[in-house]
């Protein structure tokens, strides 16, 4: 299997509550970085037809979007409609709802806020996933808690390949419970921060197996499981952006839209 | 391998709010999801249970007799005996045990047996506990390998009506862990892990423990090659038919800061 070596942002436990910020501004975070060079394999070449939601917690789905103009926010309703239908069909969920923070662009062209996130994280913990859904979908709470629910993160490239800063994803079954560091997800300013969720950060372990999708195309969407209440599915997939050393043009842009959907099963 | 016992264990159900788990019923705000699970005999694990392989072990280590009804004079000697043992076991010298909690089925409320499955630490709170031991040394201690071992010793004789079940950390899916705020004292809460039900979990207990034995499990180890975070909870022992059986034990935690 082909693999590249990428540098990933792990952290270490510290003497206070850990918090991160989507700007990656060190003044707004207290992360004790532990950068590691790790092998990142080609997810498409994994035996059995590439990585799957059932075995690793992530996959790609065909998604030839009808959106042609990604300026502004006019593309959102069309893209969301497609995302909901795609996830519903792929997972068999009875109902799929777009999460409150979806969908937003992220790009290597953007500085700070909206740039690639270098820390290994998952947007949820085993506790916060249900709280996010309960907050965004009060009309479904608390009944949704009685049946299977899941959160899928979606990642769709709008710049052409290659990507200088792709996304690495970790096979969730290679992560131990002690590798997970629950952390506050903060937004706002240094003076006035607010906590909008609890996410999972990770310490280094040589057992983690990392993958990425080289040359992700514009007619497919990368999907990983942020949380699944069904214990037979791997979830809480750690992910982080990394510089792909095999991409010759170091300025090759990576612009994508990303977001999450909530899936409810009968 | 002997037959497992089957008993309900106190998992947590999905909740729309942050759970609070407390041995004090009035402060406990978690939704239970009791599940009957097979609990296997830890003594029958081939080759014996070890910290390196299983995250828990049961060793022979006679202690000086403790009488809960004779004040608290036993505490320092009890901790000293354990610290000596852990120093020998790990070959380390920076070993700290700061508190011993007596528990008994005879006690009501906060010192009774704890039925919610939990691990005392998460990767997020372990550093906070180490900082509290000695803020001046915390940064240096966190920079190298550190571990905390939970110690569990019987004061009463077998059989035990409410033994403790331990979950093999290798059988836990990361999404099974639910960070919770657990009550300490005053208004203080710290983060621990509760556990969502997963049929893949493998549970163990050590039947008929005696005061000459010591159960050790790894609450946290910063070395990722060592299994750690061992969720545990008390259960009603269906094999214990003696109506007068009790369970009195001492529960403590030992921090080890490795030199290498």
Per-residue pLDDT reduced to its tens digit, A51-69: 999 999 999 999 999 999 9
Q: How many CA atoms lie within 13 A of A51 on its CB side?
A: 27
pTM exceeds 0.90: yes
pLDDT of B168: 98
Give contacts of B 75-114 with A, CB under 8 A: none
Residue whose C-alpha is closest to residue A260's, from A80, A113, A121: A80
> Would you place residue A114 in the very low, low, confident or very high pLDDT band (cuts 50, 70, 90)?
low
pLDDT surpasses 70 at B111: no
Residue A5 lies in a domain: no
In a domain, A8, yes or no: no
The residue-averaged pLDDT of A93-115 equals 83
Contacts of A9 (CB under 8 A, 6+ apart): A31, A33, A34, A35, A118, A119, A120, A240
B179: nearest CA partner in chain A: A127
Strand pairing class (A180-188; A3-11): unpaired
Which residue of chain B has the CA closest to A175? B174
Q: Would the CB atoms of A231 and B16 count as touching at under 8 Å?
A: no
Q: What are phi and psi of A25, to 5 degrees?
A: -75, 120
Q: Confirm or reject contact between B177 and chain A (CB < 8 A).
A: yes
Please identify among residues 232-251 of chain A the ones whose CB lies closer than 8 Å to any CB of chain B. 234-236
Per-residue exposure over B207-219, b if at least 16 CB sit within 10 Å of its own CB, e if not: bebebebbbbbbb
For residue A44, the model assigns a pLDDT of: 96
* pLDDT tops 80 at residue A49: yes
pLDDT for res B31: 97
A199 lies in a domain?
yes
pLDDT at B219: 98
For A49, A190, A194, B201, the CA distances from A114, given in Å and listed in that order, are 32, 18, 18, 39
What are the extents of the domains in chain B? Answer: 5-257
pLDDT one-digit tens code per residue, B53-86: 999 999 999 988 888 777 778 889 999 999 999 9
pLDDT band at B216 (very low <50, low <70, confident <90, very high): very high
Lowest-pLDDT range, A31-45, B122-136, B178-192?
B178-192
Contact A231 B199 (CB under 8 A): yes
Across the range A148-169, mean pLDDT stands at: 95
Determine the Cα–Cα distance for residues B148 and B158; give it in Å rounded to an integer: 27
Query: Beta-carbon neighbour count of residue B38 at 10 Å?
Result: 13
A40 touches chain B (CB under 8 A): no
pLDDT at B106: 77
Residue B232's closest CA among B173, B192, B200, B190?
B192
A252 touches B: beta carbon within 8 Å: no
Q: In whole numbers, what is the pLDDT of chain A averaged over residues?
A: 94
Expressed as residue numbers, the domain containing A181 is 13-264
The predicted pLDDT at position B109 comes to 57
What average pLDDT does the structure give for chain B? 93
Residue of chain B whose Cα is closest to the Cα of A232: B198
pLDDT at residue A229 greater than cutoff 90: yes
Establish if B127 touches chain A: CB-CB under 8 angstroms.
yes
Q: Residue for token digits 């037809």?
A: A49
What confidence score (pLDDT) does residue A36 get? 96
For residue A111, name the pLDDT band (cuts at 50, 70, 90): low
Q: What share of chain A has pLDDT > 70, as a percent?
A: 98
In the CATH scheme, what is the code of domain B5-257? 2.60.120
Q: Do A181 and B122 touch (CB under 8 A)?
A: yes
Does any CB of chain A come closer than 8 Å to the CB of residue B124? yes
ipTM beyond cut 0.85:
yes
Task: Dump the DSSP string for B66-111.
Answer: --GGGTTTHHHHHHHHHHHHHHHHHT-SEEEEEEEEEEETTS-GGG
Place of tokens 């939990």: B118
Q: Are B39 and B6 in contact (CB under 8 A)?
A: yes
- Is the pLDDT confidence value at B224 over 90? yes
pLDDT for residue B102 is more than 60: yes
Average pLDDT value for residue range A240-249 = 90
Q: Six-digit token pair at B144?
A: 């190298």
User: Is A1 domain-assigned?
Assistant: no
Provide the domain count of chain A.
1
Joined tokens for residue B200: 């893949």
The span from the CA of A196 to the CA of A157, in Å, is: 26
Domain for residue A2, yes or no? no
Distance from chain centroid for Cα B176: 18
Q: CA-CA distance, A258 to A156, in Å (whole number)? A: 6
Q: Cα–Cα distance between A57 and A238 in angstroms, integer? A: 10
> Which of B158, B154, B28, B26 minimizes the C-alpha distance to B102?
B154
Contact A180, A202 (CB under 8 A): yes
- Report whether pLDDT(B23) > 60: yes
* pLDDT at residue A133 greater than cutoff 80: yes
Render the burial of B238-254: b for 16+ CB within 10 Å, e for the rest: eebeeeebbbbbbbbbb
Instruction: Look at residue B141 in the predicted model and tell me its pLDDT.
Output: 97
The answer as to whether A229 is a domain residue is: yes
CB contact under 8 A, A127 and B198: no
């Amino acid at each position: 299997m082909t693999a590249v070596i990428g540098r990933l942002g792990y952290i270490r436990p510290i003497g206070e509550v850990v918090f991160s910020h989507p700007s990656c501004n060190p003044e707004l975070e207290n992360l004790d970085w532990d950068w590691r060079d790790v092998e990142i394999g080609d997810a498409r070449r994994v035996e059995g037809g590439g990585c799957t939601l059932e075995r690793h917690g992530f996959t790609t789905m065909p998604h030839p979007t009808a959106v042609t103009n990604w300026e502004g926010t006019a593309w959102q309703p069309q893209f969301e409609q497609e995302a909901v239908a795609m996830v519903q069909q792929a997972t068999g969920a009875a109902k799929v709802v777009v999460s409150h923070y979806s969908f937003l662009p992220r790009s290597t062209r953007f500085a700070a806020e909206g740039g690639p996130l270098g820390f290994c994280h998952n947007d949820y913990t085993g506790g916060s996933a249900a709280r996010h859904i309960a907050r965004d979908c009060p009309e479904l709470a608390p009944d949704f808690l009685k049946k299977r629910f899941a959160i899928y993160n979606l990642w769709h490239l709008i710049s052409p390949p290659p990507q200088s800063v792709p996304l690495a994803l970790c096979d969730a079954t290679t992560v131990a419970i002690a590798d997970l560091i629950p952390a506050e997800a903060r937004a706002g300013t240094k003076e006035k921060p607010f906590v909008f969720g609890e996410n999972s950060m990770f310490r280094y372990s040589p057992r983690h197996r990392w993958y990425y999708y080289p040359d992700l195309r514009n007619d497919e969407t990368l999907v990983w499981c942020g949380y699944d209440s069904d214990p037979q599915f791997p979830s809480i997939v750690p992910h982080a952006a990394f510089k792909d050393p095999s991409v010759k043009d170091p300025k090759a842009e990576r612009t994508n839209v990303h977001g999450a959907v909530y899936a409810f099963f009968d | 391998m002997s037959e497992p016992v089957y008993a309900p264990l106190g998992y947590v159900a999905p909740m729309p709010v942050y759970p609070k788990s407390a041995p004090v019923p009035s402060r406990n705000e978690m939704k239970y999801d009791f599940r009957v699970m097979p609990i296997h005999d830890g003594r029958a694990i081939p080759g014996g249970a070890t910290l390196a392989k299983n995250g828990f072990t049961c060793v022979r280590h006679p202690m000086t007799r403790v009488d809960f009804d004779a004040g608290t004079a036993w505490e320092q000697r009890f901790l000293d005996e354990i610290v000596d043992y852990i120093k020998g076991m790990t070959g380390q010298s920076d070993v700290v045990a700061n508190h011993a909690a007596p528990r008994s089925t005879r006690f009501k409320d906060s010192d009774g047996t704890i039925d919610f499955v939990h691990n005392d630490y998460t990767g997020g709170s372990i550093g906070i506990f180490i900082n509290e031991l000695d803020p001046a040394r915390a940064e240096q201690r966190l920079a190298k390998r550190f571990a905390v071992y939970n110690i569990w010793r019987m004061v009463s004789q077998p059989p035990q009506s409410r033994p403790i079940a331990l979950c093999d950390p290798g059988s836990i899916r990361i999404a099974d862990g639910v960070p919770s705020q657990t009550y300490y004292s005053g208004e203080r809460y710290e983060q621990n892990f509760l556990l969502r039900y997963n049929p893949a979990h493998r549970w163990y207990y050590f039947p008929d423990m005696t005061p000459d034995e010591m159960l050790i499990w790894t609450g946290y180890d910063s070395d990722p090659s060592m299994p750690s975070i061992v969720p545990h909870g008390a259960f009603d022992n269906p094999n214990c038919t003696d109506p007068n059986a009790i369970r009195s034990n001492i529960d403590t935690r030992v921090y080890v800061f490795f030199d290498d």
